Amino acid sequence: MHSYITADSLVANRFLTAVLLAASASAQKIKVIGSRDVYKIMQEVLLRERKVDRNKEFFWVICLAENHRLLLLELVSFGAPTTAEPTDVFSFALQKKVAKVIMVHSHRNETTVANSRDKALTDRMAAVGKFVNIPVMDHLIITEHDYFSFVDTGLLQKIVNETHYDLTFANIDKVLAETDKKVTEITRKLVLAEAEVEQAKKAGENKLAKKTQEFAKKLLKKGLSVSEIVSLTGLSKVEVERLKK
């Protein structure tokens, strides 16, 4: 079993309703160290709920203090199947200024296998929890005889690592930084390309001037006049006269 903290566990030995958890001084002494602690509490709660309606699924939120002291247990929704919205999960948590939450829900078919809907819900709630600074410590799927912990199986960490949600906008800064880097690199390449073009242009002009001068020298050797060579090569009279020396 994964432990939420490393201190010794104080497990609740009796059934605690939402009202008792909110109002009883004894509830303030309960610490939730790991998933087994959660299940020992929630198994009793589920058994009581099932006596009323066995055809519904139930969704609870457990609110914890910074030291993992149990502050509040709230039934946020029930149905066939049930689901929850971020406002359902975090409204009480924000009002009570809790440090962290644990989500717990049941399956009608008595299976603890996490389906795609459960994973998507966990992903969404974990992202919202990170945004409001109330982390989701675990998500349990429970039956009357067994439970599944997203933390114990490593699934919660996997979901957090692979999430598509970014409510903190951290990725926007990353994308902007990468974009600036790419723009800088493109600008650098353009400057280098322009320099290379200018260098090639000058090299071409120098080569053309050299060949023109060589052609003018040949014409001089053949006895053509300066004015004729100027007309044929485009060189100035001064340039042609210089070639005669």
Q: Residues 72-127: pLDDT tens digits? A: 888 888 887 777 888 888 987 888 889 999 999 998 888 899 999 999 999 999 99
Q: Residues 37-82: pLDDT tens digits? A: 999 999 988 888 776 676 788 999 999 999 999 988 888 888 877 7
pTM of the model: 0.61
Q: Is residue 181 part of a domain?
A: yes
pLDDT for 6:
39
Q: Which range, of 91-95, 175-179, 228-232, 238-242, averages the lowest pLDDT?
A: 175-179
Residue finishing a domain among 146, 168, 190: 168
Residue finishing a domain among 168, 199, 215: 168
Do 77 and 198 share a structural domain?
A: no
Do 100 and 32 share a structural domain?
A: yes
Do 93 and 195 share a structural domain?
A: no
Do 191 and 156 share a structural domain?
A: no
SS3 224: coil
Structural domain of residue 237, as residue ranges? Answer: 173-243
Quick one: pLDDT band at residue 13, thresholds 50, 70, 90?
Answer: very low
For 45-82, give one letter per residue: b (16+ CB within 10 A) or e.
bbeebeeeeeebbbbbbbbbbeebbbbbbbebbbeebb
- Alpha-helix residue ranges (DSSP H) falling in 57-169: 86-96, 116-131, 155-161
Mean pLDDT in residue range 13-18: 39
Q: Which range, of 8-17, 145-154, 188-197, averages the lowest pLDDT?
A: 8-17
Q: How many domains is the chain built from?
A: 2
The CATH code of the domain that includes 136 is 3.40.140.10
Q: Is residue 22 part of a domain?
A: yes
Residue 215 pLDDT greater than 70, yes or no: yes
pLDDT for 184:
84
Closest by CA to 137, choosing from 160, 119, 161, is: 160
**Gap between the terminal Cα atoms of the chain:** 99
Residue finishing a domain among 119, 145, 168: 168
Around 83, how many Cα atoms within 13 Å sit in the side-chain half-sphere? 10
Do 164 and 46 share a structural domain?
A: yes
Q: Residues 135-157: pLDDT tens digits? A: 999 999 999 999 999 999 999 99
- Using a 10 angstrom Cβ sphere, with 0-12 exposed, 13-18 middle and 19 or more buried, the burial of residue 19 is exposed
Q: Is residue 12 part of a domain?
A: no
Q: Is residue 71 part of a domain?
A: yes
- Cα separation values, 25 from 56, 72, 118, Å: 31, 12, 33
Q: Is residue 212 part of a domain?
A: yes
Nearest-angstrom CA–CA distance, 143 and 145: 5
